[in-house]
Amino acid sequence: MAQHFSLADCDVVGFDLDHTLCRYNLPESARLIYDSVAQFLVKEKGYDKELLTVTPEDWDFCCKGLALDLEDGNFVKLADNGTVLRASHGTKMMPPELLAEKYGKKAWKYFMSDAGMASQSGKYYFYDSYFDLSGALLCARVVDSLTKQNNGQKTFDFWKDIVAGIQHNYKMSAFKENCGMYFPEIKRDPGRYLHRCPESVRKWLQQLKNAGKILMLITSSHSDYCRLVCKHILGNDFADLFDIVITNALKPGFFSHLPSQRPFRTLENDEEQEVLPSLDKPGWYSQGNVVHLCELLKRMTGKPEPKVVYFGDSMHSDIFPARHCSNWETVLILEELRGDSDWKPEESEPLEKKGKYEGQKSKPLNSLSKKWGSFFIDSVSGPDHTEGSLVCTWSCKRISTYSTIAIPSIEAIAELPLDYKFTRFSSNNSKTAGYYPQPPLVLSNNETLTTK
């Protein structure tokens, strides 16, 4: 494979929507997602009202890459070989002695090779995106509450209530029916939660279009919410930028399911209509599968193997399946690359409007967690529980394995020429080569990491 990657070489450029094309005001959106499910648990399922009170310090628990064991209520952070680097019971971090006793040096019981490891099962759930992270904090606090109420409860069965809360707030009809908290609040004040795309990004999308690229939007959000978001971040004429829009794509199944399992559907007034036996022309569709999409792309480009690149923020839903199932080029949007050293408030609204949202500042979700440490690396305890060698996390290993490149935001590359040559991760088997504009500091300072 070539050492470099260039957008100029691609025939098709696809995008996820949430946290990819659309960047969210994370402190606000995270709290809204948390509250939407917490309110349901308290009001509909009888959970403790303490769940509704969240302090700025509580958000430090949030760190992408954690896995929740649904039976014992433990969260774990995994090394690249599946061993447990850190763990908590609910929000309570396990000391080194307990960590060693509970997990030892063996791979976590549900760990499998990448291809076989789902993001969720009946036994565990991986927190892989900013949409998920509020749920990690909520589930951890539910475990705390149940443990306290039931004198050290050892096994848990709350996940069905979490799923019910998500379904209540985010089911397909919720936007139209103003069901739950999330959609009514986004409708009421989108500027509080969504960052408008900078002019540089709008111009870049038009530049791609003018260069003859086919532009696609593939999102698991439903059509009505997608339309609201895109109008807010790109303007009322946003649809002119995209040849193909696919909503309710139900990723990662979009990439892995057969056409018969997940056919495309037409839309009328944002509601799903007839099933399509194939995808015959560009347009706006719902559900679907990558097989029928690729057949359309071949016809549109006149090429037997059009070169596709896909931008997304979720390793589980976007990057891994697009690379593993379809062999697309993949660009991971990784806000952790923004770091916390140069963090500054986003210009989501004019300064004169910002005052109404001011309050005690929570830690940005893309900054370092004091409880969990770096998203990218961690130290392995020695025999006497002292800090030992540094290793890559499982999340970090997957980035260099399945991403072509990783960038902090689309804005970070929007002013580069389309023929700019990015260095791929795969070049020289480097763990850091594909990060643009530069690797995270923790990786730059520790290039000779131990592979366990």
Annotated catalytic residues are: 16, 18
Helix (H, G, I), strand (E, B) or coil at 274: strand
Q: How far apart are CA 357 and CA 352, in angstroms?
A: 11
Q: How far apart are CA 74 and CA 66, in angstroms?
A: 10
Per the CB < 8 A criterion, the answer to whether 444 and 44 are in contact is no
CA dihedral 63, 143, 88, 139 (to 10 degrees): -10
Which residue blocks in 194-302 are alpha helix, DSSP H?
199-210, 223-234, 253-256, 290-301
**Which has the closest alpha carbon to 299: 323, 325, 279?**
279
In DSSP notation, 50-77 reads GGG---GGGGGG--TTEEEETTTTEEEE
Quick one: which H or E segment has residue 371? none
What one-letter code names the amino acid at 441? Answer: L
Q: How far apart are CA 414 and CA 437, in angstroms?
A: 12
What one-letter code names the amino acid at 358? Answer: E
186 CB neighbour count, 10 Å cutoff: 19
State the pairing for strand pair 23-24/194-195: antiparallel
Kindly state the DSSP code that residue 143 receives in the 8-state scheme.
H
